[in-house]
Structure 1
């Protein structure tokens, strides 16, 4: 009788061990594709530095991957409000797509694309198809075609460097005619 029990127990354990086999690559693929993505709706992100709010970003949806580096996609539009030190609105940015990349704890970047428009409180407007924003340095930059309209001027070119409130801006390669108001003219 003990021999029969031992034999039956051996066969049950052999069947159990054979039935619990998993392909390790399948398990890894499942974990990397499914568990490493977060989804959200009606997103609001507040950027602050030194205890002061710099900007507020809003988007209808987001998808965040936890790969290295973690990346958040805003594929259904994004709107950003930039503030001065007293929380006064300095500029507004809208784009059809955005990507937030978390390089390191203090090095994060926002890449905006598809119909990007920035408007400051003076009524100056930047239009481009691609714009990069560094929230820590509080600057915009691009290597793509840019159009800038002010109440008195229209500028066109490729490449841009500008501060967040868009009060200081530089087109890297200006193209086309430039019309400037004469600052010495008497009104």
Structure 2
């Protein structure tokens, strides 16, 4: 009889100790529900019925909490096209984040941009400001063209990277002789 009472008492204690705090469970469920995940992502961007870019990523995480964002933590590649679907430039990075409400894009970790002229930009960080329609960076940048290699800190470039400016240039720069064409 004492054995049964002890077993009953232990079971009662065990059952009463397995209680979940309802608030903790609700918070966990709301956090889990506020995130969307995807794998092997392919996204086509268009404006006015014309394809402007294609994004490829291994994984995507979209947070629906405010401020909402989309994170690409396992690499991404973007192909940017002109009006006739000609490839204008390619962009790749190991990480990316898109703030949905503001439209800002933050790329980091081995960012590489190659335009149709064969010019290549390498940097640790690259950001896109949709209001000013520019890419910019405050980090070290390397630009390799068919004729030159440029190095510096900070960058501003237009959306197709046809015009770019290194804010603090470092190293040798080759300048074309403007009088050579006259001779």
Please indicate, yes or no, whether the TM-score normalized by the shorter chain is above 0.5. Answer: yes
* C-alpha distance in structure 1 between counterparts of 2:122 and 2:86, whole Å: 23
> So what's the TM-score if we normalise by structure 2?
0.80
Structure 1 SS opposite 2:80:
strand
> Mind listing any 5+ residue stretches in structure 1 that lack a counterpart?
1-20
> So what's the TM-score if we normalise by structure 1?
0.78
Residues 47/139 of structure 1: CA separation in 2 closer, same or farther (3 Å cut):
farther
Residues 136/40 of structure 1: CA separation in 2 closer, same or farther (3 Å cut):
farther
Structure 2 SS opposite 1:43:
strand
* C-alpha distance in structure 1 between counterparts of 2:132 and 2:55, whole Å: 17
How many residue pairs were aligned?
164
Instruction: Please provide the CA RMSD for this pair.
Output: 2.2
> Mind listing any 5+ residue stretches in structure 2 that lack a counterpart?
1-18
Q: Choose the corresponding residue for 1:77, options 75, 78, 93.
A: 75
CA contact (8 A) 1:82 1:164 kept: no
Residues 168/36 of structure 1: CA separation in 2 closer, same or farther (3 Å cut):
same
Residues 25/185 of structure 1: CA separation in 2 closer, same or farther (3 Å cut):
farther
Structure 2 SS opposite 1:25:
helix
* C-alpha distance in structure 2 between counterparts of 1:28 and 1:182, whole Å: 70
* C-alpha distance in structure 2 between counterparts of 1:98 and 1:32, whole Å: 25
Q: Choose the corresponding residue for 2:65, options 52, 64, 67.
A: 67
Structure 1 SS opposite 2:174:
coil
